[in-house]
Each structure stands twice: as structure tokens, then as C-alpha cells.
């Protein structure tokens, strides 16, 4: 079966870039990305490519090439479903905020709504592809809704988890380490798998396209993210020991990374991992383990998230302690709000928790991020519900100019590893700050010697602090 028309439900960080690359690489396939969020679709259709709803290096060029050729963005969900032989589901699956599994399980209400919508309008056979991160065995839930729809169409459900990382999405999609496709082992299932393999094979080498059963595929996604997050929590745990003992976490990371069994990637100590996947997927894994009575397994993985919470907390605690145990009324500038560089996504960003802690200590927090809009920053804080929205707006200011943001500050905290932070005129920043001038580098991107030569009191995560700061 040759796929001619693809529909993707959900025009977010996953659906948008993935479909843009499929359309660019497969000019014979018509790709329609639909979303119920009209503003988002309008932004995808904006003639000015600077206004695309998500920032990803290289994405604008791909959208420019394929949009209105064989890539379309629309709010007409039903029409797109009707016309497509293959439907990707890329809607959000946040952690549940209510009821059973609250704070742990994935909320599948958006997925279920999609399945019901497909069931309602589909008159011909369809291949449904799960792209969103889902708990194991979601495919069977989708199938049961579709099979009971009462119409004659038959459905094959495939799991095709997304492994792209934000900030490098386009490169990850163009040159994936692997593409994973899980499906039914029946002949119809194998036909559906082959149809999706043929789409990817237009640009991905065949030996990088793996096929498995549905449940292996679903569980591999959770496992991959749990392993990656575990590496970050492991190196962050070591960063705290390094600070106490005089070892340097970057030296430790280099030394262990040269062991080919360990490898050099994902060993960068930080103020804590963020992003829409790591925490959510681990909590989801923990929930699944618990639901099978596997308490040791659940506790093992939960520790990765607890360690991450600790890392964020100890970073802000350290700022307060260093600033003579009070930051009340002091201006503290946060450089970076996104959860990593080269994205405007802020979901679960460590900056949110650090800012919230400092605001609770009555600091005057000023934020500069090159890509995050100020309304996003306030919305992230409001979501925590720690204080009234007016109070957040009173205590926290967003600046568009980094030098202005740092002027008269008592301290600067680097929370995202944006490249531009390393190119600033740090002497000029120092000259305009209150003294002593502190820099807390939560990403370890600045040069310690240069910062100290200028006169900063400089703290880098995972290296020993100057003696006078070691209050215990």
C-alpha cells in the first residue's frame, strides 16, 4: 500500500517539525497538519516565517520549501481525517492533574478525543500512528474505540515514538539514530508497518528503521527517556559530591565518558533537566510499575525525578545562602528561561522552580531569555499557584536587553546554556552591578578564570566553591 495522503492531529513541538520534514523529504505525499488551536494554525501559516509558533533552528527553511506545496496547516480536522490513508496522532499527553494517578499517570483525554473523532468521520480503512508518548498498551485502547465505532472501516494502529530533541529537531529528523515502528504481528499489521517503513525509507537508511511489536515500541520510548534522564540525575548527584570534595564534575564527566561502555554524551551537570518528556515519562513509568505491584522498580526510577527536584532546590538555596542569607529586595537576574538552548519551549524548565523559590524569598527577579515571550514566563509561574498572579508580575520583570537586565543586579544566575551568554562583555556587566557581584552558573558555560579576573564571585555547578562560601 502506497501512502499518498497523511494527516497529523496536533501541530505542536512534535507534530509540526515531524510533518514538515516528512513533507520536504516526500514530495509525492500530501501532508495536512491539523489542530483545534486556531491561533497556532494561523501562526504556522504566517507569511513571516519569524512568527512560526515554535522556534527550531532550520525549521523555517523547511516550512518555506514545503508549505502550500505538499504541506498544509488547517483547523479542518474532519476533512483531513477523511482524506488521509494514514493519520498521525501528535497531541499532548500531560501528566494527570486530577483523580487517580494524579501527578503520575499520563492524561489520555486528548488521545481519546482524537480516537473518537477519527471513529466518527472515517469511512475508509486507515492506519493510525501514535506519535505522542503514551503509556504501554494505549494502542489497544485506541483500537477498541475505533473497532466499536459502528462504521465499516478497519483500522491498524502503529506506535512510532518520536526521539527528536528540541533545539536539534530538524537534524534529528533528517538523520535519526533510528526510527522505531511497532505494529500488530498479523498480516494486516505487517502491511501497515511496511507502509510506514516506506515513508521513512525515502530518506532514512533501511538499517536504521526498526520494527517491533506495539508494546516493545511503546515501552522503548519511556525507557529511552528514563535512561537519558537517569544519566543527568547521576551526574548531577556527582556534582554535589564534587562541590564538597574538591573534585570537578567536568573532569569526572570527561574521565568516565571516555569509557566506551559509558560514552561521553548526556553527562553535563546542570541546574536540573526540564522539557516536556523526561519527568512525565519517568512518572508514567513509575505509575505503570506500581500498577503491576513492582514497588522496587517504581522506587528505583522515581529517584531520578527526586534527585532532579533536589538539584533545582539546592541551586536556589545556594544563591540565598551565598547572598548573606537574604535576597529580600535584591535584584537577581536570571539569564535563560527555556529548558535548554535553541528552543522557546519552557515546559518543566528548571528556571521556573528556581525563580519561584527566589520569589518566595522576596527577591526582585529579572529574567532575560532570547526566545521566550514574557507572557509565557508569567504563565509558567501562575501555573505553580504559589502566589497571586499580580504578585508575580510585581516581583518579577522580563527584560529584552541582557545588559539592562543585569544592571544594578546583586547576582546573576545562568539557567539556560544559550551560546550568546558566553559572548557578552562581562566586564561591562560587572561594572554596572552591585558589589560584591555574584554569578551562579547553573550550566557551567562561562570561563571561571576570566570571570574571577574581572572580579566576580563565580560559582559553577559541580566545582568547589571559594572557601568563604562554604558555610558548612
Cα 219 from Cα 221, distance rounded (Å): 5
**One-character DSSP codes across 418-460:** -GGGGGS-HHHHHHTS-SS-EEEETT--S-HHHHHHHT-EEEE
Site string for ligand ADP, 100-119 (x = CB under 6 A): ----------x--xx-----
Q: Is 176 in the site for ligand ADP (CB under 6 A)?
A: no
Closest C-alpha among 163, 141, 323 to residue 214: 141
Show contacts with ligand UDX in window 163-202 (CB under 6 A). 163-166
Nine cell digits for residue 124: 475508509
The yes or no reply on residue 462 touching ligand UDX (CB under 6 A) is no
Binding to ligand UDX (CB under 6 A) within 258-277 occurs at: 266-268, 270, 273-275, 277
Q: Which residues are registered as beta bridge partners of 353?
A: none
266 binds, among ligand UDX, ligand ADP, none (CB under 5 to 8 A by kind): ligand UDX
Decide: helix, strand or coil at residue 343. coil
CB atoms within 10 A of CB 255: 11
Given a contact cutoff of 8 angstroms between Cβ atoms, the answer to whether 337 and 416 are in contact is: yes
Q: What string marks each residue from 190 to 209 as x (binds ligand ADP by CB under 6 A) or -?
A: --------------------
CA distance linking residue 99 with residue 462, whole number of Å: 39
Near ligand UDX in 231-250, by CB under 6 A: 232
Q: In the complex with ligand ADP, which residue's Cβ is closer, 16 or 462?
A: 16
Tell me the residue nearest to ligand UDX as measured from the CB. 275
Judge contact between 5 and 85, C-beta under 8 A.
yes
The residue within the footprint of ligand ADP, chosen from 30, 276, 284, 316 (CB under 6 A), is: 276
Alpha helix (H) ranges present in 45-149?
59-66, 77-83, 109-121, 138-147
Q: Which residues contact 226 (CB under 8 A, 6 or more apart)?
A: 281, 282, 285, 301, 304
For residue 305, the 8-state DSSP code is H
What is the distance in angstroms between the CA of the first residue and the CA of the last residue of the chain?
68
Distance, in Å, from the CA atom of 161 to the CA atom of 231, rounded to the nearest integer, reads: 21
Exposed/middle/buried for 26, CB within 10 Å: 0-12, 13-18, 19+? buried
Output the smallest distance, CB 443 to ligand UDX, in A: 8
Whole-angstrom distance, CA of residue 389 vs CA of residue 379: 9
Q: Is 14 in the site for ligand ADP (CB under 6 A)?
A: yes
Kindly list the distances between the CA atom of residue 116 and the CA atoms of 139, 141, 163, in Å, as whole numbers in the listed order: 14, 11, 26
Nearest distance, CB of residue 92 and ligand ADP, angstroms: 4
**Smaller CB distance to ligand ADP: residue 111 or 285?**
111
Among 7, 8, 242, 277, the one annotated catalytic? 277
Residue of the chain from 3, 8, 15, 183 that contacts ligand ADP (CB under 6 A): 15
Q: Which is nearer to ligand UDX, 203 or 266 (CB)?
A: 266
* Span 49-88, contacts to ligand ADP by CB under 6 A: 77
Please indicate whether residue 277 is annotated as part of the active site: yes
Grid cell in block for residue 57: 533552528
Residue 225 binding target from ligand UDX, ligand ADP, none, CB below 5 to 8 Å by type: ligand UDX
Q: Which of residues 142 and 396 has its CB atom nearest to ligand ADP in the complex? A: 142
x-marked contacts with ligand UDX along 278-317 as a string, rule CB under 6 A = x---------------------------------------
Listed ranges 12-20, 143-151, 197-205, 210-218: which one lies at the site for ligand ADP (CB under 6 A): 12-20
Identify what 200 binds: ligand ADP, ligand UDX, none; CB under 5 to 8 Å per kind. none
Binding site for ligand ADP (CB under 6 A): 9-15, 34-37, 40, 77, 90-92, 110, 113-114, 132, 276
Residues annotated as catalytic are 277
Task: List residues near ligand UDX by CB under 6 A.
Answer: 162-166, 225, 228, 232, 266-268, 270, 273-275, 277-278, 339-340
Amino acid at each position: 500500500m502506497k501512502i499518498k495522503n497523511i494527516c497529523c492531529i496536533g501541530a505542536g513541538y512534535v507534530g509540526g517539525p515531524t510533518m514538515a520534514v516528512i513533507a520536504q523529504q516526500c514530495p509525492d505525499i500530501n501532508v495536512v497538519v491539523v489542530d483545534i488551536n486556531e491561533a497556532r494554525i494561523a501562526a504556522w501559516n504566517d507569511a513571516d516565517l519569524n512568527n512560526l509558533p515554535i522556534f527550531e533552528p532550520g525549521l523555517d527553511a523547511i516550512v518555506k520549501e514545503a508549505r502550500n506545496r505538499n504541506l498544509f496547516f488547517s483547523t479542518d480536522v474532519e476533512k483531513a481525517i477523511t482524506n488521509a490513508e494514514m493519520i498521525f496522532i501528535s497531541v499532548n499527553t500531560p501528566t494527570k492533574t486530577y483523580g487517580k494517578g494524579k501527578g503520575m499517570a499520563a492524561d489520555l483525554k486528548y488521545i481519546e478525543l482524537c480516537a473518537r473523532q477519527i471513529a466518527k468521520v472515517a469511512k475508509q480503512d486507515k492506519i493510525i500512528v501514535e506519535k505522542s508518548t503514551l503509556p504501554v498498551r494505549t494502542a489497544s485502547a485506541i483500537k477498541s474505540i475505533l473497532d466499536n465505532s459502528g462504521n465499516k472501516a478497519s483500522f491498524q494502529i502503529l506506535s512510532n515514538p518520536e526521539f527528536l530533541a528540541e533545539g536539534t529537531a530538524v537534524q534529528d529528523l533528517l538523520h535519526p539514530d533510528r526510527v522505531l515502528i511497532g505494529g500488530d504481528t498479523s498480516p494486516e499489521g505487517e502491511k501497515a508497518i511496511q507502509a510506514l517503513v516506506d515513508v521513512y525509507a525515502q530518506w532514512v537508511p533501511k538499517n536504521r528503521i526498526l520494527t517491533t511489536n506495539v508494546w516493545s515500541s511503546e515501552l522503548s520510548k519511556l525507557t529511552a527517556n528514563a535512561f537519558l534522564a537517569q544519566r543527568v540525575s547521576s551526574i548531577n548527584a556527582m556534582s554535589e559530591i564534587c562541590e564538597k570534595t574538591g573534585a570537578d564534575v567536568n573532569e569526572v564527566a570527561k574521565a568516565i565518558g571516555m569509557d566506551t561502555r559509558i560514552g561521553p554524551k548526556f553527562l553535563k551537570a546542570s541546574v536540573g533537566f526540564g522539557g516536556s518528556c523526561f519527568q512525565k515519562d519517568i512518572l508514567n513509568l513509575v505509575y505503570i510499575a506500581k500498577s503491576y505491584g513492582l514497588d522496587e522498580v517504581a522506587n528505583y526510577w522515581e529517584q531520578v525525578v527526586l534527585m532532579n527536584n533536589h538539584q533545582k532546590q539546592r541551586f536556589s538555596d545556594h544563591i540565598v545562602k551565598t547572598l548573606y542569607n537574604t535576597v529580600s529586595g535584591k535584584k537577581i537576574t536570571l539569564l535563560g528561561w527555556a529548558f535548554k538552548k535553541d528552543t522557546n519551549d519552557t515546559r518543566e524548565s528548571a528556571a521556573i522552580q528556581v525563580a519561584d523559590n527566589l520569589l518566595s524569598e522576596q527577591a526582585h527577579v529579572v529574567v532575560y531569555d532570547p526566545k521566550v515571550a514574557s507572557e509565557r514566563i508569567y504563565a509558567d509561574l501562575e501555573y505553580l499557584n504559589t502566589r497571586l498572579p499580580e504578585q508575580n508580575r510585581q516581583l518579577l520583570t522580563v527584560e529584552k536587553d541582557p545588559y539592562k537586565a543585569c544592571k544594578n543586579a546583586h547576582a546573576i544566575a545562568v539557567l539556560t546554556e544559550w551560546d550568546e551568554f558566553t559572548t557578552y562583555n562581562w566586564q561591562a556587566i560587572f561594572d554596572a552591578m552591585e558589589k560584591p557581584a555574584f554569578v551562579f552558573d547553573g550550566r557551567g558555560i562561562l570561563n571561571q578564570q576570566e570571570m574571577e579576573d574581572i572580579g566576580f564571585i563565580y560559582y559553577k555547578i559541580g566545582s568547589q566553591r571559594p572557601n568563604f562560601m562554604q558555610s558548612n
